[in-house]
Structure 1
Amino acid sequence: MTLHLSWIGRRLLLGLGQTAAVVLLIFVLTEALPGDAAVALAGEQPDPERIARIREAMGLDRPAAERLLDWVTGMLHGDLGTSLVTGRPVTGYLSAGIGPTLLLAAATLALLVPVSVGLGVLAARREGGLLDRTVSALTLAVHAVPEFALGVLLATLFGLWLGWLPPTAVGADPFTRPAVLVLPVVVLLSRPVCTISRLVRAGMVEAMASPYVAQARRYGISGRRTRWAHALPNALAPATQQLARTCDWLLGGVIVVEALFVVPGLGTVLIEAVAARDLPVVQGMAVVFGLVTVLVNLAADLVARRFAPRAEVAA
């Protein structure tokens, strides 16, 4: 128990260090962006004196170290800053965009587990058979296609040519018109399903050849029960760890998919803020994404320790 608490303490300290590094890195990278909100607000033919006045009014002429200190102090009090373009609090952008993003991510995760496990189990039923080769070939091919290219292909085919689904979410509320999320969810599912299903398939093949499964068969247990009750739980360990990592990957995927299908979520807000050089919004969104990434990685470490405690103790 003491060792377990010590391990958790080390991981929490590591997470705090990662969080501090993320905050500093985000500030440095956003400072390195060409131009700023003052240039964006000045128009296509900006007057240098007007830009200087706007920059002074926004406080952009202050030293970077001073602005970093104010930003970090505000975050410690729950204040992520104020938009330079609209004057709205950054937390307002978060509350406005988090609903569609959470809905999109939740729908993806809800479908990811049954689809991945189902495909993996089906492929493992007849190792080397037609179904196994077909599933393996399809998952390998789909995994090789970038999300952006797959999204354009699906939107063109099902949205524009066939007219079965909305090609974008422009002017639609995802909560009242969930059809606009079908294509984005399919794109987000494409790579994780391929990866996790192949892990489940490999684990099932190994588990079905194990002594305990052979013993279950000798006891007259049906093949269906053997697969689902005995082999599958032992085949899910590596897939469960990959699922935790997939939650981390979804952050980047959501930004790309929301931009492609114009879903009004956090990814769209972030891209618009980058285009307007609205640094407080960019920094606030990036910090939220970074914190979620750190927390997900900590959760993934807990999952890895749960299924491989000896390796963690040795570490």
Structure 2
Amino acid sequence: MKIAVWLGRRLIAIVLQLLIISFLTFSLLFLMPGSPEQILIGPNPATAEQLESIRERYGLNEPFLAQYADWLGAAVHLDFGTSIANGEEVSSLLIERSGVTVSLAIYAIVLLLLLAVPLGLVAGARAGGTADRVISAVTTMLVSAPAFATGLLLLYVFGVVLRWFPIFGFGSGFTDVVWHLTLPAATLAIAVIALIVRQTRAVAATIVRSDYVLFGRARGVAPWTIWTRYLLRGSSMPLVTSMGLVLGFFLTGTVVVERLFSIPGLGSLLINAVSTKDLPVVQGATILVSFFVLLANLLADASHLAVDPRVRKAVLA
């Protein structure tokens, strides 16, 4: 019952946050330079009759709050109108592009775990040693670089010089998509690799000095068993609780990465819409990305609650 109350409160908080975001997003129509009807009709010249038709179609003659209520009611049903740039339904664009962005974010998490967890375990098992210092220095240096600079470096080295990976596009078919998304996903993973390495290192350094690991070594337990059964399993709890937050970061970080690698996802859609003042697309993409981030944060908190009895006891007390 207490879990249901906690979940209900979190869902209410998400709804309230989305309402605030939607209100601010809708207000862009009236804050941008130019009249709302001229913004909605696009850059092409329009007659007085066309402007009046736009006002009638979007209810611009009604009070502001009434307009917002009508727009919100349509948005709840994923109706954000049509794109000013190409006349397509915004909801169709969002559905098509969101699959690309989510795929990129999930692939980035897979690469992050494959890179960061082994490095963190090695650093923790050899805390204070040369390997620990080298890994900490390299990961800190990598995370200090802007994602745009990291992406350009990977693009030049592995795409232009070595020609191991394509330099732009999304591809078709599972293998081709994975091939195209490797460099963008690596760019996102590198942006937070130091966080996961440090987190894994801290847990591994504690476990490796614990009594049961020392006892296992004294009994002749194989090193591989110690690494997999004790270190890897013990490090999994903080990793689970971090993945929701990392996913939220990746969903927002794709804005830069998708633009750099010409990937047709939500990020590139949002940037193109902003540059062309395609307001319906900006509104829809902003709300959808916000929803994904809030949902990722909820999953992070829920996973923390599920795997850590201390947090569960404190929250549900």
- Which range moves more in the overlay, 139-148 or 79-88? 79-88
Q: Is the alpha carbon distance of 1:76 and 1:112 closer, same or farther for their aligned partners in structure 2, counting shifts above 3 Å?
A: same
Q: C-alpha displacement at 1:37, in angstroms?
A: 7.9
Query: In the alignment, residue 43 of structure 2 is paired with which amino acid?
Result: A
Q: C-alpha displacement at 1:205, in angstroms?
A: 0.4
- 1:7-156 superposed matches below 5 A: 7-29=6-28, 31-35=30-34, 38=38, 41-42=42-43, 50=46, 55-59=51-55, 61-62=60-61, 63-156=63-156
Q: What residue number does 1:308 align with?
A: 308
Query: In the alignment, residue 235 of structure 2 is paired with which amino acid?
Result: A
Q: Is the alpha carbon distance of 1:81 and 1:146 closer, same or farther for their aligned partners in structure 2, counting shifts above 3 Å?
A: same
- Which range moves more in the overlay, 281-290 or 96-105? 96-105
CA contact 1:213–1:231 (8 Å) conserved in 2: no
Aligned partners of 1:37 and 1:223: how far apart in 2?
70
Aligned partners of 1:137 and 1:202: how far apart in 2?
15
Q: Is the alpha carbon distance of 1:174 and 1:183 closer, same or farther for their aligned partners in structure 2, counting shifts above 3 Å?
A: farther
* 2:1 matches 1:5: no
Q: C-alpha displacement at 1:209, in angstroms?
A: 1.2
* SS of residue in 2 equivalent to 1:166: coil
Query: In the alignment, residue 314 of structure 2 is paired with which amino acid?
Result: A
Aligned partners of 1:52 and 1:255: how far apart in 2?
37
Aligned partners of 2:68 and 2:300: how far apart in 1?
31
Q: Is the alpha carbon distance of 1:29 and 1:141 closer, same or farther for their aligned partners in structure 2, counting shifts above 3 Å?
A: farther
Q: C-alpha displacement at 1:253, in angstroms?
A: 1.1
CA contact 1:203–1:234 (8 Å) conserved in 2: yes
* 2:166 matches 1:200: no
Query: In the alignment, residue 42 of structure 1 is paired with which amino acid?
Result: P
Unaligned runs of 5+ in 2: none
* SS of residue in 2 equivalent to 1:120: helix
Q: C-alpha displacement at 1:129, in angstroms?
A: 2.1
CA contact 2:200–2:235 (8 Å) conserved in 1: yes
Q: What residue number does 1:157 align with?
A: 157
Query: Which of 153, 171, 185 is matched with 1:173 structurally?
Result: 171
Q: Is the alpha carbon distance of 1:70 and 1:85 closer, same or farther for their aligned partners in structure 2, counting shifts above 3 Å?
A: farther
Aligned partners of 2:226 and 2:69: how far apart in 1?
60
Q: Is the alpha carbon distance of 1:126 and 1:310 closer, same or farther for their aligned partners in structure 2, counting shifts above 3 Å?
A: closer
CA contact 1:30–1:282 (8 Å) conserved in 2: no
* SS of residue in 2 equivalent to 1:277: coil
* SS of residue in 2 equivalent to 1:242: helix
Q: Is the alpha carbon distance of 1:64 and 1:230 closer, same or farther for their aligned partners in structure 2, counting shifts above 3 Å?
A: same
* SS of residue in 2 equivalent to 1:42: coil
1:36-64 Cα offsets, whole Å, 9 max, x none, are 68358335xx7xxx486654443364454
Aligned partners of 2:64 and 2:272: how far apart in 1?
23
Q: Is the alpha carbon distance of 1:287 and 1:300 closer, same or farther for their aligned partners in structure 2, counting shifts above 3 Å?
A: same
TM-score of the pair, normalised by structure 2: 0.86
Unaligned runs of 5+ in 1: none
Query: In the alignment, residue 272 of structure 1 is paired with which amino acid?
Result: N
Q: C-alpha displacement at 1:312, in angstroms?
A: 4.4
Aligned partners of 2:246 and 2:33: how far apart in 1?
32
Q: C-alpha displacement at 1:102, in angstroms?
A: 3.0
Aligned partners of 1:127 and 1:147: how far apart in 2?
28
1:289-315 Cα offsets, whole Å, 9 max, x none, are 111111111111111212333334434
Aligned partners of 1:30 and 1:245: how far apart in 2?
31
CA contact 1:23–1:287 (8 Å) conserved in 2: yes
CA contact 1:37–1:279 (8 Å) conserved in 2: no
Q: What residue number does 1:236 align with?
A: 236
How many residue pairs align between the two structures?
Answer: 307
1:235-294 Cα offsets, whole Å, 9 max, x none, are 232222222100000111111100111111121111111122121111111111111111
Q: C-alpha displacement at 1:70, in angstroms?
A: 1.6
Q: CA RMSD in A?
A: 2.5
Q: C-alpha displacement at 1:203, in angstroms?
A: 0.8
- Which range moves more in the overlay, 141-150 or 115-124? 115-124
